[in-house]
Amino acid sequence: MKTKAPLFIIWATVLLGGVFLWGGCSPQKSEPVKTVAIPDGEYDPAVWGQAYPLEYDSWLKSKEPNPPGSKYRKGWTGNGKFDKLSEYPYLALLFNGWGFGVEYNEIRGHHYMLIDQLEIDPSRLKAGGVCLTCKTPFAPKLKEELGPNYFKDPYLDVHAKIPVQFQRLGVMCIDCHDNKSMDLKLSRWTLQKALTEIGKDPKTLTRQEKRSLACAQCHVTYVIRKDKDMKSTDVFFPWQGSKEGDISIENIIKVIKSDPAYLEWKQTVTGFKLGFSRHPEYEVYSRNSTHWQAGVACADCHMQYMRVGVNKISNHNVGSPLAQGMVACQQCHAETADWLKARVLAIQDRTTSLLNRAGYSVAVAAKLFEIANQAQANGKSVNQDLYNQAKDLYAEAFYRINFIGAENSAGFHNPTEAARICGDAVAFAETSAALLRQALAQAGVEVPVNVNLELAKYLQKRGVKGLNFKPEEEFMDPYHIQELLTPDASLGLPVVAP
């Protein structure tokens, strides 16, 4: 009995010490964020940052170069911008006639939203002040103060009305957060109106819905309405006739075609007035994609939660999971980061191959219209029924490749929808080209099997900067199929000295 007491004391001491040891090594619990009210009308992110320094610090990182996570979405390395017209050379032909055919760059971080506009070729700013709508939090205030002049006045005139200290700042805290409660909010009239038009009440949105819709204030396509003098009069999202989770390219095209005032520019090669799509991430993602159906919000992947000391915050250095080690994906997926990244890149390879297929098909059809127009100018009689059928099919094809080419995930946001749209674009373009070939043959115009696209004419010495093709940036078909369909000799690419 005398030996048992010391043993009991020893074991009790070990167990008690273990409890303290394990308790001391357990991770600290996250501290709840304490809401601090920001004064009404306070735009300065630095003032918000005094109350929320961790979020502010992560937001500031959006000005830093971000590593290339994908060969198709290269981010910004700090050594210049990547040229989308060099990546997809057929776009230079198809967009020739307005600013996007002069300078069209890959996106950088949120910090550069407004800076990139100010540094772009002046031809991209001809629409006027309307271009500021998703680039500055002052847009609603400017619209209210200027009325119709907000849309049609010269861009730099409207931009000059932004307070000087904010004239190069893009998205700010006040864009997405209520200054009293820090709840997410929708600050743009464009989205509020669009939601109402598809039967969604902006006042009844859940927090998770807002974690996508706050992004959808800007990451959507839009239409700039024009008057008879081609001055901008309004901007809206072409969602009329759609519904939540089903904003289709077919319905967007229907809206664009419904009114000549929605045709914003004239394509040089065909002479057609056309509409245009910009960054339709929300429309593509929300149309029955796997992650959308699973209830995943934009912020879950692009603003993933992160720990800073004992605090848990959303990463405000918004970016692709590919450039952030796939951490966001591993919140749900058990696979390794390398495995997950390989799946994403495989999707992007397939989408890019299909987009190239569609893009070059549309480019060939465009050049056939150029041949047909020239034949008519020379007195040839071209069958107008065939011509008009081809024209309508061509527009369907163009709008589809424009839509997927402008979407910033290279297909990953909705792989099946991106593939469907590109496949349909090929079908529309090839049928358009076949009708034109038939019409030209009837008119006695000989057309070569491989139409020369003359891409050098559209890629070299662009705009006031004299921008040129960068062959090292071109996205070749990863499966080497396109080179069999459009031989190098028919592309007419610039000859660049080694």
Q: Give start and end residues of each alpha helix (H) in 320-444.
A: 337-377, 384-406, 415-442
CA distance 356 to 418: 13
Residue whose tokens read 């000087």: 164
Say whether pLDDT at 1 is over 60: no
Separation of alpha carbons 346 and 339, rounded Å: 11
C-beta atoms surrounding 319 within 10 Å: 21
Report the pLDDT value the prediction gives residue 259, as an integer from 0 to 100.
Answer: 97
**Looking at residues 207-232, what average pLDDT do you find?**
96
Report pLDDT digits (tens) over 164-209: 999 999 999 999 999 999 999 999 999 999 999 999 999 999 999 9
Q: Check if CATH label 3.40.190.10 holds for domain 335-455+470-493.
A: no
Instruction: Give the number of C-alpha atoms closer than 13 A to the C-alpha of residue 193, restricted to the C-beta side.
Output: 10
The pLDDT-based confidence of 28 (bands split at 50, 70, 90) is low
For 446-494, what is each residue's pLDDT tens digit? 999 999 999 999 999 999 999 999 999 999 999 999 999 999 999 999 9
Residue 21 has pLDDT above 70, yes or no: no
The rounded distance, in Å, linking the Cα atoms of 245 and 294 is 12
Distance, in Å, from the CA atom of 60 to the CA atom of 257, rounded to the nearest integer, reads 42
Phi, psi at residue 83, to the nearest 5°?
-95, 110
Alpha-carbon distance of 302 to 347, in angstroms, equals 18
pLDDT tier at 9, thresholds 50, 70, 90: very low
Whole-number Cα distances in Å, 157 to 111, 129, 223: 22, 8, 22
What tens digit of pLDDT does each residue of 404-454 get? 999 999 999 999 999 999 999 999 999 999 999 999 999 999 999 999 999
Q: Where are the domains of the chain?
A: 335-455+470-493
- Angle (nearest 5°) at CA 93 between 87 and 95: 85
CA distances from 19 to 9, 59, 144, 310 (A): 15, 40, 63, 22
pLDDT at 497: 66
φ, ψ for residue 321, nearest 5 deg: -55, -30
Nearest Cα to 89, choosing from 468, 489, 481, 371? Answer: 468
Q: Is residue 134 scored above 70 in pLDDT?
A: yes
Q: For residue 118, what are its two tokens? A: 């100010």
For range 135-152, the mean pLDDT: 96
DSSP secondary structure string, 332-362?
T--S-HHHHHHHHHHHHHHHHHHHHHHHHHH
Determine phi and psi for 308, rounding to 5 degrees.
-130, 100
pLDDT at 5 over 80: no
Report d(CA 78, CA 201) in Å as an integer. 42
The per-residue pLDDT for range 232-241, each reduced to its tens digit, is 999 999 999 9
Helix (H) or strand (E) holding 266: strand 265-266
Cα-Cα-Cα-Cα torsion 477, 483, 486, 490, nearest 10 degrees, comes to 120
Q: Return the structure tokens found at 70.
A: 């994908």
**Residue 245 confidence (pLDDT):** 96
User: Tokens 């006040």 label which residue?
Assistant: 174
Give the pairing type, strands 311-314 and 305-308.
Answer: antiparallel
pLDDT tens for 321-378 read 998 899 999 999 999 999 999 999 999 999 999 999 999 999 999 999 999 999 999 9
Distance between CA atoms of 60 and 16, rounded to whole angstroms? 46
Among candidate residues 418, 273, 412, 413, the one with its CA nearest the CA of residue 356? 418
Q: For position 306, what pLDDT does the model report? A: 92
CB 400 within 8 A of CB 425: yes
Q: How many residues would you count in the chain?
A: 498
Residue 495: predicted pLDDT: 84
Per-residue pLDDT at 25: 44
Give the Cα separation of 432 and 355 in Å (integer): 17
The Cα 345–Cα 232 span in angstroms is 39
* Residue-level pLDDT at 19: 39
Q: Is the dihedral of CA 88, 92, 155, 258 positive or negative?
A: negative
Three-state secondary structure readout of 194-251 = HHHHCCCCHHHCCHHHHHHHCHHHCCCCCEEEECCCCCEEEEECCCCCCECCECCHHH
Q: What is the pLDDT of residues 74-133, one digit of tens each?
A: 878 888 899 999 999 999 999 999 999 999 999 888 999 999 999 999 989 888 999 999
C-alpha angle with apex 56: 221 to 328, nearest 5 degrees? 60
CA nearest neighbour of 149 among 161, 137, 166, 134: 161
Helix (H, G, I), strand (E, B) or coil at 397: helix
Query: What pLDDT, on a 0 to 100 scale, did the predictor assign at position 30?
Result: 55
